[in-house]
Amino acid sequence: MNFARLNHILIPERAEKRMALRHAKGGFIVRGALRIYSAFTPLGLFVLLLWLVITPLSFSLHITMYYVVWSLVSGALVASLIIRPWVRSRGVSLRVSHPQRVRVGEEMHFHIALHNSGPEPVHALELEPPFLPWDGVLTQSPTHVDVLPVDAHRTVVARLRFRARGQHSIMPFVAAPLAPLGLTRGRQVASAISSFTVVPGFPEVLGLDMPLYPRHQPGGIALASRAGEALELMGVRPYQPGDRIRDLHPPTWGRTGVPHVRHYQQEYYLRTAVLLDVFTRRGRVSERRFEASVSLAAGCVAALLQGDALVDLLLCCEQMPPVTIGRRTGTLDTALDTLACVQGSPEVSMDAVQDYLAPLLPRLSSLVLVALEDDDATRELQQWIAAQGVMCRTLSVGQGGQTSGAPVQWVPLQAVERFAQVRL
């Protein structure tokens, strides 16, 4: 069990929901508490804690030093809070740019651009990182800006790392000028919510040699490149903007008076697939092993894309249609975005799996099955796929003591988790 997820029992995991909680009915208590908390700097929070500790001691009638210290601390806090409303950052805008995807465990750079369009320079501008989800770690805090002159631009960098794949959104970055004494901040300027995808990392899979031969593709494949394969002339059709000039058919144009072009259809492709088993067998598969299986599936897709074949990513879910990549139909990022959102599902009947795969298998030359377990269901599925005339190679993530062999080939768990080379 991942106890870090317990952070989000009361606090929503998505930034959008946390922002909505602030503005919900009854959220004035949350907004008030956050407003007080955000008004103080880390030094100010320490002094406030010190004030709370000294307050009961200050009632002592025998040791006046406690009362003197309490008076000094109280005066500093009150003075900082009185000055705070006059410390403003007029005209300062804040914008955050970041990549749309990052792999698990890799550092993600957030570029924070500051611009001062106000009438006067802003001094001692302090940047605060956002509240992070349970899997986020701040590896480099944004640096503070001493002076931001009028019409000036400054860019600072923050670095974060995330260890869980999926759709992520984080709270806004905040900039605010420091008030005198350094205990409080002035009025804040916030950025927009940052949304991005954390995709799974994957090992370098070597030796994944699958037999490939052209298979008939009924209806053709949209957007696939035509390099290296023959075309079949289907007929002619009226010219449409964007058609190639060299495909014009002069006889039909002359006979009808309307420009016509030759219409081709490419029906045969080299095509393979990676099928990820997402059924967790009622909790018998650990989260660690499931995540490693997702990474292994990503590595298999990346290895198969080195060739000239189309690659289908299959997930055996009615809500998740096949993802076809390669030959200009899509890129590895398309598959990684899909795998980033994969969740484990309860076990379903073999009939449902066969109904999902039946219309897809006639188009495939071979298939890689990434299984969660070496059980009867996996072996039955492998035999059924082979009976459809599709060569099936089954891989499964296991502990280091397990050995490779038919019909399931085990891949070391530690190698997959380290994203190291895996030779099959």
Which domains are seen in the chain, by residue range?
92-199 (2.60.40.10), 204-214+269-423 (3.40.50), 231-264 (no CATH)
pLDDT at 303: 92
pLDDT at 230: 47
Burial class (CB in 10 A: 0-12, 13-18, 19+), 64: exposed
pLDDT at 67: 87
pLDDT at 266: 56
424 residues of the chain, pLDDT tens digit each: 666 777 767 677 777 777 776 666 666 666 677 777 888 998 999 999 999 999 998 887 788 888 889 999 999 999 998 998 888 888 899 999 999 999 999 999 999 999 999 889 999 999 988 888 888 999 999 989 999 999 999 999 999 999 999 999 998 999 999 998 889 998 889 999 999 999 999 999 998 888 775 665 565 555 555 544 445 566 888 998 888 888 899 999 988 999 999 876 555 567 899 999 887 666 677 888 999 999 999 999 999 988 778 899 998 765 677 888 876 677 899 999 999 998 887 777 788 888 888 888 888 889 999 998 888 888 888 999 999 989 999 999 986 445 445 578 889 999 999 999 998 8
